[in-house]
Amino acid sequence: MNESILVVDDDTELRKVLSSILSEEGYSVKTVENGEQAIKTSEKTRFDLALIDIKLPDMEGTKLLQRLKAKQPHIVMIIVTGFPTIENAMGAVNKGADGYILKPFEIGKLLQAVRKHLNKQAADHISNWMEFEQDSTRKSRFDQDNAKKKSVYQPQ
């Protein structure tokens, strides 16, 4: 496994725990404590998934969702919150969150959600690659057929 995960949370202990657990699972993990650090880090490193606290010291997690998506459109983003409201959940999903996890969470359920989202991302990537390959093959055949037709028919 070589997927990379960005953890954005102002709780130092939670960042340490998540980093340790996710690293033990084989993920490459980078942790930051606020939205601006997340944005700067995302300019230097490609991430497959981000776990984002909804309440950050410098911006709302939902605002960070939009800014990260602009920098890394492929990234899977999961909001982690200790403030479970319908408004928070709907706002997060409407602004691009792929998932929503409540604090305190069970580590097993968090890992299951991370795996599920990364597997879906991988399946989507493979599907897109296969469509690209099919389109490329069709175009190549079309170009070859046109080249044959041109070589057979030469107007005088």
Q: Which of 4, 13, 20 is nearest to 53 (CA)?
A: 13
Q: State residue 1's pLDDT score.
A: 54
Q: Are 116 and 124 within 8 A, CB to CB?
A: no
62-114 residue pLDDT tens = 999 999 999 999 999 999 988 777 887 787 888 889 998 999 999 999 999 99
40-70 residue pLDDT tens = 999 999 999 999 999 999 999 999 999 999 9
The domain spans of the chain are 4-152
The DSSP code for 69 is H
CATH 3.40.50.2300 for domain 4-152:
yes
How far, in Å, CA of 42 to CA of 6, rounded?
9
Structural element, H or E, at residue 14: helix 12-24
Enter the tokens of residue 153.
């028919």
User: Residue 71, Cα to own-chain centre: how many angstroms?
Assistant: 11
How far, in Å, CA of 72 to CA of 75, rounded?
6
Q: Which of 17, 11, 9, 70 is nearest to 35 (CA)?
A: 9
